[in-house]
Homo-oligomer: A and B are copies of this chain.
Amino acid sequence: MLKELKDTKREDKKELKTEIRELREKLLAQQQLIRSSALPVIVLVEGWAAAGKGSMINELISEIDPRFYNVTSPAAAQAEDRYPFLYPYAKAIPENGKIMFYDSGWMEGAVRKYLRREITKKEYKEILRSVNEFERQLRDGGYLLIKLFLHIGQEEQRQRLATLRENYETQWRVTTEDIWQHNEYKLFCETYDSFMEETNELIAWHVLNGEDKRGAVRDALKILVKTIDKGLEEGKYIGKPFKEEFPLLKMPKLAEIDLSPVIEEEEYKTELKKLQTRLGQLHNTIYRKKIPVVLCYEGWDAAGKGGNIRRVARPLDPRGFDVVPISSPEPHELNRQYLWRFWTRLPRSGHVCIFDRTWYGRVMVERLEGFCKEDDWKRAYNEINEFERQLTDWGAVVLKFWIQIDQDTQLARFTDRQNTPEKQWKLTEEDWRNREKWPQYEEAVDEMLQKTSTENAPWFIIESNDKKYARIKTLKIIIKALEEACESRL
């Protein structure tokens, strides 16, 4: 894609100025339509060091009301190195009706990491895949994505870097990384090129000639105006469900689960103590080896999630874990792709994050209550598989627990809660309403378990008619998985 730049013929300056002014006016008019149709727009501004990414963004935003756009520089946030590759980019996605400019985006992030040898070729390939998944998920979630690359030749770059370094006020802008890029121009060029080729199919890249600054602004404005026009015309896109090959584990139906297992009080106490001690030791190793751990709890109301989580959390160092309770999304969460509120809650590497309810709400409550379209929840199975693979690619241990009870046990526990003053807060009208929809939920849960139990992020059905049995079983699963992870990592 990055052909050599030829001397562009000088365009008529006045004509170019008029053209830019007209395009800006169009963009200004579009801004209100973007807002009123709640369309979220992402503009990636990638390109060479000193190609003028900053000035380009400045030109693009000059007429837009500052309330409707933001600029993010994810690369600047080094603290985010302890998160999955996509984390800083996912965290910055705009709300509906707003434009976010990325200066720069995931290409720059991936290419630098790769060329700096911070990641292996294999990891780089995984990132490429995850980028394609991420872009598709954004598009399918109604995001308009525009990808620009600002291209300049090596000689032009040399001159610009030299000029920047000559001036005291601007010399700090030239980093050693920039110099390195300049010296390795050819290597970078090939890598950018192949990155763009591998991420061009779904959402095409636009290479702009950065040597002609005004021309590049005009071209970028044209692309923005055209793409946004098309997006507004076609209305918010809702992606269709798609098939993807994930190695799925065979799961039983909930109805087939034998809920009779119990544990004796004496055995429970001994086991609990032993397992908690072991988990406490493992937490140390996990912390030291920087292994991220994501534990997901789903299950019927009153199944015993809270007590189970408490037993798992008990031996953990409180500095190294978080319990994240998930309830209905707030407005700023509803205004973004549905996985956003989970991306932003991920643990740092070496930490344990326990989700009390999870992203699986998409294919349960949101499906059944009609909070999203049919295509949305049907698409979600694969999107979630991809999301979880991105977590395990990062190195996370991802374990998912379905805490299972039968209807009689639930009724008994509801009744107990109703009759025990200090437990009444746990029981809401909604719990009773959900109970009435047990068959529909069971169907949804069965489908979810079939479609999302992957080798890398498996589901475990935990029989919880006897809560103590459930706790011991959960602890054993966690310990086994963590032992394996600790053994296999440096």
Query: Is there an interface contact between A66 and B310, defined as CB atoms closer than 8 Å?
Result: yes
Chain A interface, DSSP helix/strand/loop, else mixed = helix
Give the residue name and chain of the B residue nearest to A66 (CB): B323
8 Å CB interface, A300-330 against B: 306, 309-310, 313-314, 316-319, 322-323, 325, 330
Query: Is there an interface contact between B306 and A65, defined as CB atoms closer than 8 Å?
Result: yes
Within 8 Å of chain B (Cβ to Cβ): is A288?
Answer: yes
Q: A172-B288, A332-B330 are in contact. Are A54 and B317 (CB under 8 A)?
A: yes
Q: A35-B425, A66-B356 are in contact. Are A284 and B169 (CB under 8 A)?
A: yes
Q: Which B residues touch A288, using CB under 8 A?
A: 169, 172
Within 8 Å of chain B (Cβ to Cβ): is A194?
Answer: no
Shortest distance between the CB of A316 and any CB in chain B (Å): 8
Contact with B along A9-53 (1 / 0, CB 8 A): 000000000000000000001001001100000000000000000
Within 8 Å of chain B (Cβ to Cβ): is A281?
Answer: yes
Q: Which B residues touch A172, using CB under 8 A?
A: 288
Within 8 Å of chain B (Cβ to Cβ): is A170?
Answer: yes
Shortest distance between the CB of A418 and any CB in chain B (Å): 15
Give the residue name and chain of the B residue nearest to A331 (CB): B330
Query: Is there an interface contact between B71 and A306, defined as CB atoms closer than 8 Å?
Result: no
Within 8 Å of chain B (Cβ to Cβ): is A70?
Answer: yes
Q: Which B residues touch A430, using CB under 8 A?
A: none
Within 8 Å of chain B (Cβ to Cβ): is A62?
Answer: yes
Query: Is there an interface contact between A325 and B67, defined as CB atoms closer than 8 Å?
Result: yes
Q: Report the bound CA distance from A73 to B314 in whole Å.
A: 18
8 Å CB interface, A158-206 against B: 169-170, 172
Q: Report the bound CA distance from A296 to B83 in whole Å.
A: 33
Shortest distance between the CB of A225 and any CB in chain B (Å): 16
Q: Report the bound CA distance from A35 to B424 in whole Å.
A: 13
Within 8 Å of chain B (Cβ to Cβ): is A8?
Answer: no
Q: A78-B79, A310-B66 are in contact. Are A58 and B169 (CB under 8 A)?
A: no
Within 8 Å of chain B (Cβ to Cβ): is A77?
Answer: yes
Shortest distance between the CB of A272 and any CB in chain B (Å): 13
Within 8 Å of chain B (Cβ to Cβ): is A422?
Answer: yes
Within 8 Å of chain B (Cβ to Cβ): is A85?
Answer: no
Within 8 Å of chain B (Cβ to Cβ): is A61?
Answer: yes
Q: Report the bound CA distance from A41 to B221 in whole Å.
A: 51
Within 8 Å of chain B (Cβ to Cβ): is A101?
Answer: yes
Give the residue name and chain of the B residue nearest to A29 (CB): B422
Q: Report the bound CA distance from A425 to B310 in whole Å.
A: 49
Q: A54-B319, A169-B285, A284-B170 are in contact. Are A425 and B36 (CB under 8 A)?
A: yes
Shortest distance between the CB of A23 and any CB in chain B (Å): 17
Give the residue name and chain of the B residue nearest to A35 (CB): B425
Give the residue name and chain of the B residue nearest to A62 (CB): B314
Within 8 Å of chain B (Cβ to Cβ): is A93?
Answer: no
Q: Which B residues touch A323, using CB under 8 A?
A: 66-67, 70
Q: Report the bound CA distance from A319 to B52 in whole Å.
A: 12
Query: Is there an interface contact between A425 and B32, defined as CB atoms closer than 8 Å?
Result: yes
Shortest distance between the CB of A474 and any CB in chain B (Å): 14
Q: Report the bound CA distance from A331 to B61 in whole Å.
A: 31
Query: Is there an interface contact between A319 and B71, defined as CB atoms closer than 8 Å?
Result: yes
Q: Report the bound CA distance from A316 to B77 in whole Å.
A: 20
Give the residue name and chain of the B residue nearest to A325 (CB): B67
Within 8 Å of chain B (Cβ to Cβ): is A103?
Answer: yes
Q: Report the bound CA distance from A103 to B325 in whole Å.
A: 21
Q: A66-B306, A78-B79, A331-B330 are in contact. Are A318 and B170 (CB under 8 A)?
A: no
Query: Is there an interface contact between B58 and A103, defined as CB atoms closer than 8 Å?
Result: no
Shortest distance between the CB of A246 and any CB in chain B (Å): 31
Within 8 Å of chain B (Cβ to Cβ): is A238?
Answer: no
Within 8 Å of chain B (Cβ to Cβ): is A354?
Answer: yes
Query: Is there an interface contact between B67 and A356, defined as CB atoms closer than 8 Å?
Result: yes
Shortest distance between the CB of A431 and any CB in chain B (Å): 15
A sample of 14 cross-chain residue pairs with beta-carbon separation below 8 angstroms, ordered by A number, consists of: A35-B425, A57-B318, A57-B319, A58-B318, A62-B314, A66-B309, A66-B323, A67-B323, A67-B325, A79-B79, A101-B318, A169-B281, A169-B288, A330-B331
What is the interface of chain A, defined by CB distance below 8 A to chain B?
29, 32, 35-36, 54, 57-58, 61-63, 65-67, 70-71, 73, 76-79, 101, 103, 169-170, 172, 281, 284-285, 288, 306, 309-310, 313-314, 316-319, 322-323, 325, 330-332, 354, 356, 422, 425
